[in-house]
A and B are shown apart, each in its own frame.
Chain A
């Protein structure tokens, strides 16, 4: 009897393993577990067995039945899964069709760089102020210690509206407007468009600047260096060398020009840096006491610094753009890269 059960189990198992479709599995179930199935018959035949053995064989037969049933279920599941799989595969879509969306647009590269720069200064406690693009000669020049008939005015080719009204040549005019309205301490940045009547590969008649200035009771040139180094390292990387060299602006004294190690050649020398290894990124200095006098601050009480940078220039250096005019042509192929 035992031997018989085992051989039923083996043959059932072998047949199940060899099935290749769902119907065959169903036939095996009928053959072994159906109403007249081989195993069913064995179970029916139990009553003919001696009482003391009946219990033991009953257990074994039931286990065998469960075992075969289990095999059948697993096999069935396998075939059903394969079948569904086949159906689903016929419902295939073309995944290479472009996605269904309006592609994002792009912010102008100078907007991206300006935002980045502004964040740096906001985090250092500066606040944003703005001023008019069409400006009185007084705010653009006179109060910034560019007297009329002074050659310092040649430093900036100016568009005139009238003799007393200009398109501002720099955002430094905002310094005067803010200082006239507020008392120190001041920590301000002023972004905006500026104009110079000049046009070639490196000049456009309009460009953007960011002015920054700080006025308080004991601001020193070393503070100016500290702030601008934080800025340069944040924008161009913490290892970028930064140097300050003497220069001249009527509204700052001492004045400085700030260079960074050439980002193109890493200081080895190339055409961009004219083989000096250095690239100028901004002008700065301690606010000239003459400017404080114009706005009614006591130059013996207050000191301050100011700096100004060209946003296009910094964007060009950051992205390796070699023609400033690209910023205002608005060629989609250019804009899309940012």
Chain B
């Protein structure tokens, strides 16, 4: 809401500067967001006031001035409105639906002269963001700004009869509003009718069929009160948001109906001439008065202050709230323009506002000490993020939106559940119309952006929820981690010496150690692998035999689809599953008392034998003296025959209760060799 300082001064005589005025209003809850010069009057400034939805009474100059007079404790000078000569009868008004329209008042002005408004009107409209039209329309807008009450003027000669009927649309399904738009109506929308036809959508916009134009002579002026929720529903449905609807849907002041009508009628005769008829005011069931009692103790308890009853009375009186101290409480009757004050807490808020939030002391709550309660999941996520960070990965955060075509680019199968998208009815962009069912496309897009900046090596991770269909109202939100590693092709030898796959795998193994996950393994299983991973260079991650994620190199076709280099490795982890598999207990194992004996073993095996196959084979020997088996070399190439590779392990032997003899170790060691030869067709490398 824009408010001219000069205009405000017509209602309250204050001497504050614009900045001081802004501060006073802001600190009382009417936040002034900007002070700008009045482009139509160099001696004036305009305040841009952010009026919260609970204060429709401040959507006018008069309302803001009334508030200012209360804050500054200055007297309020209201408009003096007097209709001098009333001749003839006003129109007849019939309200069919008094629930949607509790009050409708009208006067007719005969014999107006349509012309541009005088400058004092047109300049004010312009400086408050309304384009002047003609003197009649301008007056309705001027009164809207000044008094906050929307009015409408019809060309009487275009109406059938001097008659207004307020009723819903019924079977009328199309209506052309004065902006020349054909609107589709539904039958419960409230319309204004003449004796025969609809002439306005109530509270939103008049019809083209009854518009005031340069040839208008007689005007029917409407001032009414419409039910806020109904106006809002209609406004959304027909997609009209006007100065009028904005005020009606927040709640106009029903007591203002006649005042605003008279003010407009008076102004019209001043600037357009004409004769005013008597008023017709149809207000069948007057609004009841709301009486509220508030306990004095509650005021002090909730605000944490100690305020005198007389001070409470002074403040309430200043904002026009009738009040009376009765016993241990105060009974109040809010004025009609404060429909937001309905119960005791609303009154307490008014007292707090006028008392000044700055005067409320700062204390700390007196409550019993409670033990610190840990959120285990949150702590784990924190640990995971920190572990990834220490492995060189930077955290990214992407929007939760998904471009559905990215799923094709990922080569997801038609029947993949991640294709069952949760869609947003009103997305900002087509590419953001669904919620993510996978974190991968966003990370690939992060890579693309950074490559365009000249980055060659990237390590990123994100921990965010994906959204999967559940069959219920709310989707399943599953917390995932995805990480991506783009290896620099040239790679500095001391920084990118590992193959990308093993870099990510190492990061994950560090992570598992950090959060105490032990029983994990990496398994190649072509039947389970993600369609967007290179089947030969990817694996499933298992913990306690449950699949918790995937690790692998991007499928070359997918790399093509996203136009990224194929040297990208990806990790995906189901964080919720991982968190459920953690064994946080640490049990101490005594340190060994007896020395170890270490033996190395180098074997040549067919290429498809994995390190894990060899390890398992060795550990499968029936003995308790193998302490550990560690890989220390892998080699293929000359002199190893084609199709084969060499693996070298260090085996550490130790017994818990004695010093091992060479003989004992030799025995087990040769069993190991035999087993390797038998089950893996391994040859001992000499």
In this complex, what residue of B is CB-closest to A157? B426
Contact A331 B450 (CB under 8 A): yes
| Cα–Cα distance between A290 and B401 once the two chains are bound (Å) | 34
Which listed residue, B31, B398, B475, touches A330 by the CB 8 Å rule? B398
- Choose one: A185, A204, A226; the contact of B363 (CB below 8 Å): A226
A244 touches B422 (CB 8 A): no
User: With A106-B389, A226-B365 known to touch, is A329 a contact of B477 (CB < 8 Å)?
Assistant: no
- On whether the beta carbons of B233 and A221 are closer than 8 Å, the reply is no
The 5 closest A-B pairs by CB, nearest first: A222-B304, A246-B29, A220-B304, A248-B52, A102-B392
Q: Do A335 and B396 form a contact, CB below 8 Å, given A185-B368, A245-B357, A246-B29? A: yes
- Whether, in the assembled complex, A35 has its beta carbon less than 8 Å from a beta carbon of chain B, the answer is no
Determine whether A274 belongs to the interface, using a CB cutoff of 8 Å to chain B: yes
Chain A residues with Cβ under 8 A from B474's Cβ? 132, 134-136, 165
- In the complex, per-residue mask of B647-680: 1 if CB is within 8 Å of any chain A CB, else 0: 0000000000000000000000000000000000
What 0/1 readout, one digit per residue, does chain A (199-242) give for beta carbons within 8 Å of chain B?
10000111000000010101111110111011000000000000
What residues make up the interface of B, taking CB atoms closer than 8 Å to A? 26-29, 31, 33-34, 52-55, 228-229, 232-233, 249-250, 301-305, 343, 345-346, 348-349, 352-353, 357-358, 360-370, 372-373, 375, 378, 382, 385-386, 388-401, 422-428, 432, 435, 446, 449-450, 453, 455, 458-461, 464-465, 467, 473-475, 477, 492, 494-495, 503
Please tell me if the beta carbons of B467 and A98 are within 8 angstroms of each other in the complex.
no
Q: Are B52 and A247 in contact (CB-based, < 8 A)?
A: yes
Show 28 A/B contacts (Cβ-Cβ < 8 Å), sorted by A: A100-B494, A102-B391, A103-B495, A105-B388, A111-B397, A133-B467, A134-B435, A149-B229, A154-B53, A159-B424, A159-B427, A164-B473, A205-B401, A220-B302, A222-B304, A225-B357, A225-B361, A226-B364, A243-B358, A244-B357, A246-B27, A246-B29, A253-B345, A254-B345, A254-B349, A329-B449, A330-B449, A332-B458
Q: Are B357 and A222 in contact (CB under 8 A)?
A: no
The answer to whether A108 and B396 touch across the interface, beta carbons within 8 angstroms, is yes
A32 to B398, CA, bound (A): 85
Q: Contact check, A289 vs B343: say whether CB atoms are below 8 A apart.
A: yes
Which B residue sits closest to A288, measured CB to CB? B345
Does A303 reach chain B (CB closer than 8 Å)? Answer: yes
Complex contact A105–B302 (CB within 8 A) = no
* Residues of B with C-beta under 8 A to A216: 365, 367
Distance of A205 from chain B, by nearest CB (Å): 6
Q: Judging by beta carbons under 8 Å apart, are B362 and A98 in contact?
A: no
Least CB distance, B228 to chain A, in whole angstroms:
8
Q: Distance in Å from the Cβ of A279 to the closest Cβ of chain B?
A: 13
- What's the least CB distance linking A308 to chain B, in Å? 16
Residue contact A218 to B301, C-beta cutoff 8 Å? yes
Taken together as a complex, chains A and B put the C-alpha atoms of A98 and B301 apart, in Å, by 64
- Output the least CB separation between B462 and chain A (Å): 8
Q: How far is the CB of A12 from chain B (nearest CB, A)?
A: 55
User: What residues of B have a CB within 8 angstroms of the CB of A101 in the complex?
Assistant: 495
Measured CA separation A327–B428 after assembly (Å): 18
Least CB distance, A187 to chain B, in whole angstroms = 7
Contact B365 A214, beta carbon cutoff 8 Å: yes
Q: What A residues does B249 contact at CB under 8 A?
A: 151
